[in-house]
Structures are given as C-alpha cells and as structure tokens.
Amino acid sequence: MARIAVLGAGGVGSATARFLAREGHDVTVVEQFSPDHDRGSSYGTSRIIRKTYTDGFYTALMGEAYPLWDELEREAGESLFARTGGLFFGPAEHPELVAIRRALSDNGVPFEELNPAACARRFPRLRLLAGESGVFEREAGFLRASACVRANLRLATAHGARLRTGVSVEGLEPHAGGIRLALAGGESLEVDRVVIAAGPWTARLLSRFVSLPFTVTRQVYCHFEPQEQVPVAGYGAERFPVWIDFATDFYGFPHDGQAPGVKLAWHHFGTPTDPDRVDREIHESDREPLRSYCAEHLPELSSRVSLEKVCLYTVTPDKDFVVDHLPGEPRVTLVGGLSGHGFKFTVLLGRIAAWMATERKVPWELSRFSLARFTR
C-alpha cells in the first residue's frame, strides 16, 4: 500500500482521505488551519445539492454522487443531506430553464413545472413574479457542509489516517524515490503520492510547476430574520425548498434549525482577492443586493441580518473543475477550481482523486476537467 499525503482537509480532501484510508493506504492529511475552518470554501451549515443543471454532463455526474452521499450518511450514522426538494425558476422561456428541462429529461430525473399560482400554493413564502416559471426537482436539497467534512475526517482517522493540522506546506519536491514535502518549521514529509485539494491556496502551492488560471473571489451570504408575526417555522425544511433564480443567480435555503434566520446568497463572482488577505468585514454594499432581492421574491423576510459570513470561490475561466495529474508528474493528483458550484460533487471528486492517486481507472470520461484545455 502507498504512502499518500492529502493536502487540504476541506470537502474534497476529507473525502479523498476517507476513501484512501478505508482501502488500507498510509494516509497523512495536512491542513494549514484547524479542521472545518471558515477561511476557505467548505465551511457552514448548508450547500445546495441538485441534479438541476443546464449542462447534462453535470446532471449525469450528480447521479453518480448521490449514492456516495447516501453511503457517507450510513457510515457516519448522522443526517448530512436534508432532502427538501428544489425550486429553480426564472422567466418561463429563459434559455437556462429550457436547458434545465432538457438536461433533466435526458437523464431521467423527474421534475414538475410550477407557475406563480402553483408556487404560491406549494411554497407561500416564496413569490414567483408574473411571467416566471419554476422547475421543481424533488431529489434536491442541502448538504450540511461542515458536518460532511467532519464526518469524512472522523471516518478517515478511524481507518488509520493521520491528521496534521496547523501545518503549512511550503513546497514539494518530486524525486526518484517519491515526493518530499517541505513543511513549515523545517520539517519534511516523505510520501509516494500526493493529492492536492487546497482550494484557494492550490495555485500558489503549485506555482513552481504549473500556472493555474484560478481566480479567488470574495463571496458573502446573509441570514435574514422573518418579519414580525411571521414564524421562522414557515421557512423550515419541511415547508420551504432550496431555490435558485437562474435569471439573476440569487439562491437560498430553508431555515436549517442550526443557524438563525433564512440564508440567502448571490452566485455573482465577487471581488478577486488573495486568500490570505481577504476582507472579512461585511459591508452595506454586500447586504443591499440581498435585501433588494428579498423585497421582491421573499417579501415576508425583514431586512434584519442575523448571521453573515465571507467565504471564497476558486474560479476557472470556463467554470469547469480541474481534475488531473500534475503535468509530467503522475504521482501528484490535483483537484481544484470548483468555481462556486462544487461542494455537492466533493464526495465524488474525492472518490475520483483516490482512484487517480492509486492508478485505478476512473469509469467516466473527464477530459473536460483536464489542465490541457487551458493550453489548447
């Protein structure tokens, strides 16, 4: 069995470590911060999981991811996936809605059409405007992101993986006998293979070997309190779906019972930033677009913010992921550039990375995730 280092303990790294350790490999996870830290992209109580994509390629991949999430829930013995259903809407003939219907139909995913009146009956807290139409996918919901990461790490360590936290990797040096990792403080770690899942820090870590066209952006989400006399239970997971407005890229969640208020965010790529110098303060200019959206589509939410947070996206030019070996170095596997829509895939990407790191065949065609596409 191989000695394998996994760099990064977020969604992808934690899943990769679990699969590798379960298969008997000697696994060391190296994380520069604490487990389940809030400085990157994998922290929080909720991430949307859906098969509803405009691109049937991703719809098909999500069909492979769902059983892996079910497996993680069983192994962890806890609820990680809230199956609330998802409403995806916009102007009735918006090109993205047309593409969504086609992708779901082509992949055999059941869905319903909801006009504004039907939406008002089913989800009275969420308003579709005149001329808008919704696609309701029953299989959608949200993942408890931090709990997923913690579960993967707990299971990985139960299978023998070592978790090194608060340790930075300053470089890696491939040589004939393996790969030497230079750790902060002068320590080194010798391994046979490396999986790099370092999120916003990936490009910097690999800058000596390859120029990755990743842009790190600052993103904000807010939780809003309902108006007076409106019970938050009306936004609970049994009564309120996850949702995305495909015309404007706003999206949101039910009240999850773990954090106050109702979560709303904007899938609008924010200000490019250095992951070590992020403006973590929330400004009125961050809140105002979300408040304005609430007034139109979620009118029973107030302007009172009960929780707010900055997180990071790592974005590729085409918004597709990167899943590949380091050019010229098959002992180094790279997963990154999840572009703000990747958490729902992390368990599948961890499965793929574990296969790639151990030279096992991946049973899906993933050439569109290759690094070579940036140099064609």
Please report the beta strands in the chain, taking only residues with DSSP state E, as ranges in sequence order.
Answer: 3-7, 26-31, 47-49, 81-82, 86-91, 112-114, 132-137, 141-143, 162-165, 169-175, 178-183, 188-191, 193-196, 215-226, 242-245, 250-252, 262-266, 301-315, 322-326, 329-336
Q: Give the end of a domain, one of 274, 297, 315.
A: 315
Residues 221, 197, single domain; the answer is no
**354: Cβ contacts below 8 Å, ≥ 6 apart:** 16, 19, 20, 23, 195
Domain-embedded: residue 339 = yes
Domain that holds residue 222: 72-143+215-315
Tokens standing for residue 319 = 């918004």
Cβ-contact 5, 30 below 8 angstroms: yes
Q: Give the end of a domain, one of 293, 315, 337.
A: 315
Give the residues across from 182 on adjacent strands. Answer: 171, 188
Structural domains counted in the chain: 2
d(CA 115, CA 297): 14
Residues 127, 264, single domain; the answer is yes
Residues 124, 168, single domain; the answer is no
DSSP 22-84: HTT-EEEEEESS-TT-SSSSS-SS-EEE-S--SSHHHHHHHHHHHHHHHHHHHHHTS--EE--
Residues 234, 128, single domain; the answer is yes
Cβ-contact 66, 139 below 8 angstroms: yes
Residue 257: how many other CB atoms lie within 10 Å: 11
pLDDT of residue 375: 85
Q: Which amino acid is at 147?
A: A
**pLDDT tens, per residue, the chain with 376 residues:** 899 999 999 999 999 999 999 999 999 999 999 999 999 999 999 999 999 999 999 999 999 999 999 999 999 999 999 999 999 999 999 999 999 999 999 999 999 999 999 999 999 999 999 999 999 999 999 999 999 999 999 999 999 999 999 999 999 999 999 999 999 999 999 999 999 999 999 999 999 999 999 999 999 999 999 999 999 999 999 999 999 999 999 999 999 999 999 999 999 999 999 999 999 999 999 999 999 999 999 999 999 999 999 999 999 999 999 999 999 999 999 999 999 999 999 999 999 999 999 999 999 999 999 999 998 6
Residues 241, 310, single domain; the answer is yes
Residues 360, 286, single domain; the answer is no
Cβ-contact 157, 102 below 8 angstroms: no
- Strands laid side by side in the 169-175 sheet: 169-175, 178-183, 188-191
Pick from 239, 220, 284: which is nearest to 125 by CA? 239
Give the residues across from 324 on adjacent strands. Answer: 334
CATH label of the domain that carries residue 334: 3.50.50.60
Domain-embedded: residue 81 = yes
Q: Give the end of a domain, one of 315, 337, 362.
A: 315
Residues 221, 108, single domain; the answer is yes
Domain-embedded: residue 55 = no
Residues 327, 296, single domain; the answer is no
The end-to-end CA distance of the chain, in Å, is 36
**At 306, phi and psi to the nearest 5?**
-100, -20
Nearest-5° angle of CA 368, CA 68, CA 74? 165
CATH label of the domain that carries residue 85: 3.30.9.10
Under DSSP, the state recorded for 361 is P
Domain-embedded: residue 224 = yes
Domain-embedded: residue 230 = yes
Counting every residue, how long is the chain? 376
Residues 133, 204, single domain; the answer is no
Domain-embedded: residue 16 = yes
Domain-embedded: residue 30 = yes
Residues 137, 248, single domain; the answer is yes
Domain-embedded: residue 63 = no
Cβ-contact 223, 260 below 8 angstroms: yes
pTM for the complete prediction?
0.97
d(CA 289, CA 306): 16
